[in-house]
Structure 1
Amino acid sequence: MSAARAGRGLSTGWLRSQWTDEQELAHAIHGTVVGSAVMVAASLHGTLLQVVITVAATLLVFWATDRYAELLAAGARGPGTGRGRVFAALRHGWPMLESAYAPVIVLLLASAIGAELPVAVLAALGVSTLLLAGLGYDAARRSGASVATALGSSAMSALLGVAIIVLKFALH
């Protein structure tokens, strides 16, 4: 463990070990929100397989676009974009894709045990909302916020997931 990472404490377990800086947390939040919104939209007329493919493909395009924009910006700041810089940029944005794994797995598991697609999507959105709450809490604690403030941040982040659930009910 690096000295900087050790100095931040270990208050939030796996999130801390998973995404180590504010940009990675931001990418995870973006990936979770985009993946959830796409899941809702794709489930309106698609099958389970179509929903999974649409979420994966959309997040892959979103990630590639974000990483390409980062590389362009890095090139504007300094000389060239060597192979090392390219690989670092690609790795750095990876939480955008990683954050979608759990909701998609829940979607697949819920469907596998017999849930209809709308119910399976709702279960996946519940997991997304919990993930967003955890990310909000972790971000606040990393900034030195008190537990009470971090819980408020957690609630605010969870509201993003709640908004997507409301969107699901409005569309279905």
Structure 2
Amino acid sequence: MRGRSRNWRTWFARVVRPHRRWSTERDLAHAIYGTVVGAAAMATASAHSTLGGVVVTVLVTVAVYWVAERYAEALAVAIRGPRRRGRVLRAIRQGWPTVEAAYTPLVVLVVFVLGTGQLRTGVLLALGVSTAMLSVLGHVAARRAGAALPTAIACAVGSAALGVSVMLLKTFLH
């Protein structure tokens, strides 16, 4: 039983609390962006798709946004001065939290739907997880940037409002 407990904590740390790996405010900003993009893709895809369709739509959408952003950043750093290759490679690696942040709500969606067969409820649950993640990410980003607690709470509420907006989008789409 002790091994199971350790496995659960490892999984939780990797999937549910990835913000510990994201060391900078910029990483957290990318994660907020990825969470919103993934949630919006999930909300819109769920209107006319299956579980597989929703998962593919979210993964492709987030990947396209990440590639577009990284491409633009790589162009910006490639134009300036020497050692371009190193700067371009660093620019491409940055922003990966945009993609990573989409995983947790997708895992929740897939596990729930495979267990219950209820896509609509699973999407709502996953969007709720996205909203909670946004709140935590906003709070952590503000605190890491040196914000006082009241400001960090306001950032958490503001980030959660993005998730609520996506949930409202889903409600109006269906």
2:27 corresponds to which residue? 24
Q: Does 1:78 align with 2:81?
A: yes
1:107 corresponds to which residue? 109
138-147 or 118-127, larger mean C-alpha shift: 138-147
Tell me the C-alpha RMSD between the 2 structures: 1.5
1:164 corresponds to which residue? 166
List alignment gaps of at least 5 residues for structure 1: 1-13
Residue 115 of structure 1: CA displacement?
Answer: 4.4
Amino acid in the other structure paired with 1:69:
A
Residues 87-106 of structure 1: matches in 2 within 5 Å?
Answer: 87-106=89-108
Deviation per CA, 1:57-97: give whole Å up to 9, x if none: 11111111111100001123333631x33332222111000
TM-score by structure 2 length?
0.85
Amino acid in the other structure paired with 2:124:
L
CA gap 1:48/1:16 in 2 versus in 1, 3 angstroms: closer
CA gap 1:42/1:157 in 2 versus in 1, 3 angstroms: same
Residue 121 of structure 1: CA displacement?
Answer: 0.5
CA gap 1:15/1:142 in 2 versus in 1, 3 angstroms: farther
Task: Please tell me whether the aligned partners of residues 31 and 100 of structure 1 are also in contact (alpha carbons under 8 angstroms).
Answer: yes
Deviation per CA, 1:112-169: give whole Å up to 9, x if none: 1114111111011011001100111011111222222211110111000000001111
Q: Size of the alignment, in residue pairs?
A: 158
Distance across 2 between alignment mates of 1:115 and 1:133: 28
1:127 corresponds to which residue? 129
List alignment gaps of at least 5 residues for structure 2: 1-16
Percent of residue pairs identical? 49
SS in 2 for 1:153: helix
Distance across 2 between alignment mates of 1:123 and 1:141: 27
Distance across 1 between alignment mates of 2:39 and 2:19: 22
